[in-house]
Amino acid sequence: MRGRFSGFPEQAMDVLWQLQGEPSHATRERCRADRERLVRQPMIALLDEVADAEPRYEDFSVWHYRTDSWWWQHQSVVIRLGRKIEIGLRFDLDGLRIQGAWWYPDPGQVDAFREAVAAEGSGRELSALVEDVRRKGYDVSGDVMKRPPRGYPTDHSRTDLLRHRSLIAARPLGCAEWLHTPEAVDRVLAAAADLDALLRWLVRHVQRAG
């Protein structure tokens, strides 16, 4: 049910600003309660509403704080769709960023990915899906080998994809006024829909090897 998430408070930016650079232990402790209330809890509320709208997104984790300053300066979350296949969200001074990722693969997943890329039907489908998210403004990256993997022709038409050992499509959603309103839920859902077909392909062809 909608209504829990009203947007990230504008004061959240003030808290994150205080945590820039290498904040001291005293600064972190002074900001801890405000960061929890203004940054982390709104992120949980946002993900609760996203999951209400799409039950496939209900398996999520909103990270706590760690020793490294980066984790205090960026509020990250993952929505698990399959083994090593997930949607990631990050909130920081630049606003919201989303990515769809298959990474840190389990044994066998890279081989399964390559087999699906090499097969004509599934491989052509993936190429089209990657181009589609690129057209929508997503940067496509990952752990990419310098050379094609052994056992595949060097002139394969999809050699660029065969060299991937992970696949990530990401883009910033921005830091406009909507970030501080309930509209952020719809923005996240729309971006997740952009990535949906690509992530479903990965679940279908890669998860089974995990």
Residue range 11-209, CATH number: 3.30.930.20
Tens digits of residue pLDDT in 24-45: 999 999 999 999 999 999 999 9
Neighbouring C-beta atoms of residue 123, cutoff 10 Å: 20
* End-to-end Cα, the chain, rounded Å: 34
The three-state secondary structure class of 60 is: strand
User: H helices of the chain, where?
Assistant: 11-18, 25-35, 41-53, 70-73, 109-118, 120-135, 159-162, 183-205
Please report how many Cα atoms fall inside a 13 Å half-sphere around the Cα of residue 42, on the Cβ side.
Answer: 24
pLDDT at position 1: 44
Task: Reply yes or no on whether the pLDDT at 210 is more than 70.
Answer: no
**pLDDT confidence bin for 3, thresholds 50/70/90:** low
What is the band of 209 on the pLDDT scale with cuts at 50, 70, 90?
A: low
In tens, the pLDDT along 116-131 reads 999 999 999 999 999 9
Cα–Cα distance for residue pair 147/119, rounded to 1 Å: 19
Per-residue pLDDT, 132: 98
Global pTM reads: 0.93
